[in-house]
Each structure stands twice: as structure tokens, then as C-alpha cells.
Amino acid sequence: MFASKPDSIAAARLRAGLSQAKLAEAIGTSQSHIAKIEAGKVQIQFATAAQLADALKITLDSLRGLIQQPSANIVEVQ
């Protein structure tokens, strides 16, 4: 479904098998905050980035590249 390396936070989330709600629950935030992060509408703090990286099972360095790329082309089917 995805290339070997996800190109957005949404792609990494989907690859990890998480909905926005489940990811939000895993890191202690709201689904709407995850949606804003994925859309590139908010800047996140280091603690949130570290939690995201852990939940998505990616490195902080990988996450940094994904944060700069909003997930406009990802469609999620629930």
C-alpha cells in the first residue's frame, strides 16, 4: 500500500495500523489535534514529537521529515 518509507505522518500512522483516535489516545491528546498535526496546521513541541515517533515506531529524525509534509494525498477509510 505504501512505499518502504512513509512520506507523511498520516501514512506512517496508517502503516502502524492506527486511526487518528487511537494515535491520539496513545499519546494523550485529541483526535482533532492529530488531524491538525497531519495537516501541518500546528507546530508540535518536542515531547509530542517524541511520543508520536514512539507510537508510530519511527525515529525522531524520520518524523522531522514527515512534519514538513502535510498529508494532502492520504485518504483514510474507516
Higher pLDDT, 41 or 75: 41
Whether 73 is in a domain gets the answer no
Judge whether residue 2 has pLDDT over 60.
Answer: no
Whether 40 is in a domain gets the answer yes
Best-predicted range by mean pLDDT among 5-9, 43-47, 74-78? 43-47
Task: Check which CATH number belongs to the domain holding 13 and give it.
Answer: 1.10.260.40
Domain count, the chain: 1
Whether 76 is in a domain gets the answer no
10 half-sphere exposure, CB direction, 13 A CA radius: 17
Residue 22's domain comprises 9-67
Query: What are the pLDDT digits (tens) for 16-73?
Result: 999 999 999 999 999 999 999 999 899 999 999 999 999 999 999 999 988 865 444 4
Whether 4 is in a domain gets the answer no
Number of C-beta neighbours around residue 50 at 10 A: 14
pLDDT band at 1 (very low <50, low <70, confident <90, very high): very low
